């Protein structure tokens, strides 16, 4: 699918689902990383992440387009177009648009497992919990300036 086909699909969804014309541009933006699409307030254009079409299919793309068209039409009508607005949520429900897009399979692989590293002061015995490892040769206890030692590392599932 190219930008022209995306434009035609967006115009069709707008006419059929919303009963209103889509008069601006819809295009793929290869720079989008963490979102399925976005509505641009100044130009009224819609940008879509093509990886959602490639990895999750046509149905996910249609859902993203519906979501962005909700922003588009409400903004042009002067109603609440933001995620937290009641107008926006009601229109999402009416047209069957998702509130959030699905997770890309490529991003699920990149997720890091969270861990907690526990350090203890050798002088006063105070316990410190950190997400990252710290250099115990460089850092000391904030309470008594004692030496720190790594006690354990807890990995979350």
Active site residues: 68
Q: Count how many Cα atoms sit within 13 Å of the Cα of residue 63 in the half-sphere of its side chain.
A: 17
The H or E element containing residue 63 is helix 58-77
Alpha-carbon distance values, 48 to 41, 92, 108, 114, 153 (Å): 15, 18, 20, 31, 41
Q: In this structure, are strands 37-39 and 46-48 parallel, antiparallel, or unpaired?
A: antiparallel
């Amino acid at each position: 699918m190219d930008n022209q086909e995306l434009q035609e699909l967006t115009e069709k969804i707008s006419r059929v689902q919303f009963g209103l014309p889509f008069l601006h541009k819809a295009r793929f933006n290869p720079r989008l990383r963490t979102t399925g699409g976005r509505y641009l307030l100044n130009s009224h254009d819609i940008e879509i992440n093509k990886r959602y079409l490639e990895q999750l299919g046509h149905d996910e793309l249609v859902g993203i387009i519906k979501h962005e068209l909700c922003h588009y039409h409400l903004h042009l009508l002067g109603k609440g177009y933001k995620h937290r607005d009641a107008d926006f949520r009601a229109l999402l429900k009416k047209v069957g648009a998702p509130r959030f897009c699905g997770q890309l399979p490529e991003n699920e692989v990149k997720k890091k497992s969270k861990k907690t590293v526990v350090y203890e002061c050798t002088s006063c015995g105070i316990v410190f919990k950190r997400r990252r490892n710290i250099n115990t040769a460089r850092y000391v206890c904030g309470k008594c300036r004692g030496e720190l030692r790594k006690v354990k590392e807890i990995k979350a599932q």
